[in-house]
Amino acid sequence: MKSSLFVTRPLPEPVLEAARAAYKVTVRESNAPMTPADCAEALRGHDAILPTLRDQFTAEAFAGEGLRCRLLANFGVGYNHIDVEAARAAGVAVTNTPGAVTDATADIALTLILMTARRAGEGERMLRAGRWEGWHPTQLLGRHVTGSRLGVIGMGRIGKAIAKRCHFGFDMEVVFYNRSEVRDPGMPAHQLGSIEEVMGVSDVVVVAVPATPQTHHLIDAGAFAAMKPTGLFINIARGDIVDEAALIAALQSGRIAGAGLDVYEFEPDVPEALRAMENVTLLPHLGTAALNVRTEMGLMAVENLLAHARGEELPNRVG
């Protein structure tokens, strides 16, 4: 008899089809995040689960008797919604989908950089509102990205893919901060000793670290104070890495020139203060939102599920 797999959101059909090779698949027909109580029930009702971000696999969900699930094959590289320690203690393995998300997320970072620097959102809003009166030499003057300096906080897969695009595509000099030494950043780039140093010398700063207890509010008021007043701040990683109130204060006071955000501290709540500022580009967590990318992410999660069903080593184990 096939093992039981619970998929917490509707996913592209090829992903479900691939999972059916080894599992009896139940798909939850809702896009609302799973509460800890929903997660606790799923952990007791199924042999494996394919969850995604915002599903709250907290310590509370793993606590107590009767756990049947042995694998959480997460859909996505970021797994900060799963208490990996609690999962491990309960005998539940956790996997993720590194690599499948890298290029698409780097592309969204470039979208944010260019839109923010060149005031594209502001221009589009003006045009759609019927306020455009035609080209003139001093209209909507933005910042020229080509040849400026990029600072990356977190030079992993996505950080490197962003830096590569900026260096080879836009002739940008690259500096970065990473907690460990990065020997091969993939292009000429200087690793600096602190976040403040990187933020202080960069024209554009991009955050690409994972959300962990160590990175909560890693970017705070002190980090924003180090930035150039002409600097642009971009976050494609996770919202709670940034002290959002400090970001708002830095933007409102003119301490920094603009921001481009794909993620928010209390997602999907986006503060009115951010929505009111023309110099801020706001995207709804679009990093991997392309059908082939979401399919690839799903198939990578399924590879882990199939390996688990065959009793093999899990290719993308994180816990």
Ligand X SMILES: O=C(O)[C@H](O)CO
Ligand Y SMILES: NC(=O)c1ccc[n+]([C@@H]2O[C@H](COP(=O)([O-])OP(=O)(O)OC[C@H]3O[C@@H](n4cnc5c(N)ncnc54)[C@H](O)[C@@H]3O)[C@@H](O)[C@H]2O)c1
Say which amino acid occupies 262.
D
Shortest separation between residue 107's beta carbon and ligand Y, angstroms: 11
Contacting residue, 87, 101, 192, 247, with ligand X by CB under 6 A? 101
Does 210 participate in binding ligand Y (rule CB under 6 A)? yes
Q: Which does 209 bind (CB under 5 to 8 A by kind): ligand X, ligand Y, none?
A: ligand Y
Cβ neighbors of 158 (< 8 A, separation 6 or more) are 101, 102, 105, 106, 109, 208, 236, 237
**Closest C-alpha among 125, 121, 101 to residue 111:** 121
Position 288 contacts ligand X (CB under 6 A) = yes
238 among known catalytic residues: yes
Site membership for ligand X, residue 304 (CB under 6 A): no
CA dihedral 109, 112, 118, 124 (to 10 degrees): 140
Q: Contact region for ligand Y (CB under 6 A) — 64-72, 166-174, 177-185, 307-315?
A: 177-185
Among 29, 131, 135, 180, binds ligand Y (CB under 6 A): 180
Q: How far apart are CA 270 and CA 7, in angstroms?
A: 28
* Alpha-helical runs (H) found in 253-319: 272-275, 291-309
- Return the CA Rg of the chain: 21
Contact letters for ligand X, residues 57-86 (x by CB under 6 A): -------------------xxx--------
Q: How far is the CB of 238 from ligand X (least distance, A)?
A: 7
Nearest residue to 54 (alpha-carbon basis) of 69, 76, 84: 76
Q: Which of the following is catalytic: 285, 294, 296, 308?
A: 285
Q: Decide if 240 contacts 213 (C-beta within 8 A).
A: no
Catalytic residue among 238, 255, 294, 308: 238
267 is annotated as an active-site residue: yes
For residue 3, what are its two tokens?
């093992």
Counting every residue written for the chain, the total comes to: 319
Site string for ligand X, 8-47 (x = CB under 6 A): ----------------------------------------
Distance CA 83, CA 294 (A): 23
CA 197 to centroid of chain Cα atoms: 23
Which tokens sit at 129? 């509102």
Binding residue (CB under 6 A) for ligand X from 53, 158, 172, 305: 53
Active site includes 131?
no
Site residues for ligand X per CB under 6 A: 53, 76-78, 101, 287-288
Which residues are catalytic, by number?
238, 267, 285
Site residues for ligand Y per CB under 6 A: 77-78, 98, 101-102, 105, 154-159, 178-180, 208-211, 214-215, 236-238, 262-263, 285, 287-288
